[in-house]
Amino acid sequence: MLLFFRLQISIISAEMTNIDVNSLPVNIKKPEIHITGWNRLLHRSVEVRVHSELLKPLPNVRGVGGVVSSKVQTHSLSWFFTPPDEETADGKRQTAAEERGGASPSVSEADDFALQKKDMEALTRIRIPRDTVKIQDRLNYILQPPIESILNLPTLDLPFEPFPFQRQGVAFLYSAHFAILADEMGLGKTMQAITTIRLLLRTGEIRSVLLVCPKPLMSNWQREFELWAPEINVKLIDGSPVRRKWLWQLPSIPVRLANYELLNRDREFFDSPKGERLTAFDLVVLDESQRIKNRGNATSEAARAIPRRRNWALTGTPVENSQEDLVGIFEFLSPGFLKSGLLPTEVCKVVGDHILRRTKDEVLTQLPPKMIRDALLELTPEQTETYRMAEEEGILRLSAAGEEITIPQVFELILRLKQICNFDPATGESAKLERLLADMEEIAESGHKAIVFSQWVETLYRLKESLARFGITEYHGKIPSKHRDEMIRRFREEKNIHVILMSYGAGSVGLNLQFAGYVFLFDRWWNPAVEDQAINRAHRIGASGPVTVTRFISTNTVEERINQTLEHKRRLSELILSGARGLNSSGLNQEELFGLFNLRVPAKLKKAA
């Protein structure tokens, strides 16, 4: 097949200095750079190289040619082609613009210039890394078409029009060799990653991708690839050891999908001590990358052992407990890049160019509102008496331990008190359950759906009995993975099911439940970032109405004291780290943990910290 292209190279004057233009390795007799980005006098004879990819068959898919210049490296400039003018039935020439919008508008050249300039400024350009020094490398990015032009290609056929901030995410990842996409839950990190992978595979910049995610999310990633990149072959690494070894080493697989649990077991397949390592992956992507925040655990070490050329990390919570979490993630992305012990402002300066963080309040002004209400509840008389006795006995026991007191002992008391706030162990009475039942009567009557979160599966079992009349499904660690998708389907599709009971551990990541209008936090988690993830299961792109979040807090208990401490830390974090875009201090430190019971931190624990 003979292909003939007429090539035009785009130069955007806003991206190039006079030195850049003068350094171009082409002969420009008289630069004639237009606001549209075209330089009509710049031409070059090029070699066209066509390569094949192992793609799944799709109807009406056109071949893609890569255009290669001997001096200026460019990619997929076939995207620049302008539709030719068509000849109408009466013999007149009709431009492509007239064909799309009717007759050409009658505007002055100044107005036309202003309109075109405004359109050009609104386009999303591929991000140029700050550490790019060579002019040839900068041109490699400058000469790429805007993201809007690329995503509008008929061969891509995206199922939905991306939001502007999602196009910016694609532009950020496209040129990133190590980066964290830390958007708030619900903003489409999966879609942005898949779309960028799709573009990089098409341009030939990458040929092999490994994507690692938690095991429960593997089916979700499969579905998202089918939706956003249906032509890409995605192979799951699963099965027997022999099959997994074969899948790790199988050539010509564009995308492999593995889970964190496999990394430890399969490390010998990609990091053999005998030196028989795999050919490096062009790109490794870690979803829910907070899984490797602890640099010393086996999962983190296995992830760092994967041979690779580029790294991305996806997480809505880059920092869950301390800044060391971020250090652990960057140790995978770029070993030694981020050191421990830096001040928050110093961390912000170091990582700022490698983290992209957006919140829904910033970018989704049209998203239905999220209304958070704290339901401050008094314990029932029976709960109050049981709670008082447990707290007094617990504090006496801790005080008697003196300098030998340990953090697990404090946690044990807190957990016992929190469980009493849920249900009285002797009578089963619960002020929270009474409030939940009252709210669910109205929710079910109006045909809406609700998610109820708890940190204990035992609590969910007790709720299951009381909420059965509203129609329930469950999603927690005791539900086998193979049945979880069915639970979500029933909750989404069956009109008589109004409640899904979820544990924070199983339901706080990776699920899209935007059809639920109500979220209840039956008990509070230690970390507000985990609570935010849980809430964002419902409050995300696609939500058709407002989401009402109810946080149950028992007054005059440890729950109220924990809430006050965490809210103070959240406000302080937002004030200090506002420029870090995504770094939050969260959780309780030693002083705050012991302070819940007015206890002094033992000296040996202070030294250990």
Structure tokens at 458: 């035992």
pLDDT reported for residue 501: 93
pLDDT reported for residue 373: 84
Mean pLDDT of 312-316: 89
pLDDT reported for residue 512: 65
Q: 333-351 pLDDT, tens per residue?
A: 988 888 887 777 777 778 8
pLDDT reported for residue 473: 92
Is the same domain home to 206 and 285?
yes
pLDDT higher than threshold 80 for residue 68? no
Is the same domain home to 395 and 488?
yes
Pick 465 or 33 by higher pLDDT.
Answer: 465
pLDDT reported for residue 569: 60
Is the same domain home to 323 and 386?
no
Q: 276-299 pLDDT, tens per residue?
A: 566 789 999 999 888 888 888 888
Q: How far is CA 571 from the centre of its chain?
A: 23
Dist CA 403 CA 425 (whole Å): 31
Is the same domain home to 11 and 131?
yes
| pLDDT band at residue 5 using 50, 70 and 90 as cut-offs | very low
pLDDT higher than threshold 80 for residue 478? yes
Total structural domains in the chain?
3
pLDDT reported for residue 570: 63
Q: 514-553 pLDDT, tens per residue?
A: 778 888 999 987 777 777 777 777 766 556 677 888 999 9
| pLDDT band at residue 14 using 50, 70 and 90 as cut-offs | very low
Mean pLDDT, the chain, rounded, equals 74
| pLDDT band at residue 579 using 50, 70 and 90 as cut-offs | very low
pLDDT reported for residue 273: 62
Q: Please report whether residue 512 resides in a domain.
A: yes
pLDDT higher than threshold 70 for residue 28? no
Dist CA 388 CA 385 (whole Å): 5
CA atoms within 13 A on the CB side of 585: 20
Dist CA 285 CA 181 (whole Å): 10
Q: Please report whether residue 280 resides in a domain.
A: yes
Dist CA 525 CA 504 (whole Å): 8
Cα–Cα–Cα angle for 308, 313, 316, rounded to 5 degrees: 170
Dist CA 320 CA 587 (whole Å): 7
Looking at 157, 172, 207, which one is the last position of a domain? 157
- The answer to whether the beta carbons of residues 263 and 299 sit under 8 Å apart is yes
pLDDT reported for residue 437: 92
Pick 69 or 522 by higher pLDDT.
Answer: 522
pLDDT reported for residue 553: 93
Is the same domain home to 30 and 143?
yes
Residue from 109, 83, 107, 79 nearest 97 by CA: 83
DSSP symbol at 266: T
Q: For residue 461, what is the domain's CATH number? A: 3.40.50.300
Q: 121-156 pLDDT, tens per residue?
A: 567 878 777 767 677 777 777 777 788 878 877 778
Looking at 109, 141, 157, which one is the last position of a domain? 157
Q: Please report whether residue 266 resides in a domain.
A: yes
Among the listed ranges 40-54, 209-223, 360-374, 456-470, which one has the minimum average pLDDT value? Answer: 40-54
Instruction: Tell me the CA distances in angstroms from 226 to 91, 154, 159, one per residue in order.
Output: 45, 17, 10
The highest-confidence range among 312-321, 381-390, 442-451, by mean pLDDT, is 381-390
Q: 244-259 pLDDT, tens per residue?
A: 989 998 888 899 999 9
Q: Please report whether residue 483 resides in a domain.
A: yes
Q: Please report whether residue 92 resides in a domain.
A: no
Is the same domain home to 452 and 570?
yes
DSSP symbol at 479: S
Is the same domain home to 510 and 382?
yes
| pLDDT band at residue 448 using 50, 70 and 90 as cut-offs | confident
154: Cβ–Cβ under 8 A, 6 or more apart, which residues?
62
Among the listed ranges 50-64, 355-369, 497-511, which one has the minimum average pLDDT value? Answer: 50-64
Is the same domain home to 351 and 376?
no
pLDDT higher than threshold 70 for residue 98? no
Among the listed ranges 1-10, 371-380, 532-541, which one has the minimum average pLDDT value? Answer: 1-10
pLDDT reported for residue 389: 93
Is the same domain home to 512 and 579?
yes
Looking at 126, 157, 188, which one is the last position of a domain? 157
Q: Please report whether residue 104 resides in a domain.
A: no
Is the same domain home to 131 and 173?
no
| pLDDT band at residue 587 using 50, 70 and 90 as cut-offs | low
pLDDT higher than threshold 50 for residue 10? no
Report the share of the chain in percent with pLDDT over 90.
23
Residue 389: domain span: 370-608
pLDDT reported for residue 272: 66
Dist CA 320 CA 293 (whole Å): 9
Q: Please report whether residue 99 resides in a domain.
A: no
Is the same domain home to 65 and 182?
no
Q: 194-225 pLDDT, tens per residue?
A: 999 999 998 888 999 999 998 877 888 988 99
Pick 220 or 31 by higher pLDDT.
Answer: 220
Q: 35-67 pLDDT, tens per residue?
A: 334 343 343 444 444 444 455 654 444 444 343
Q: Please report whether residue 90 resides in a domain.
A: no
pLDDT reported for residue 225: 93
Burial class (CB in 10 A: 0-12, 13-18, 19+), 108: exposed
Is the same domain home to 311 and 393?
no
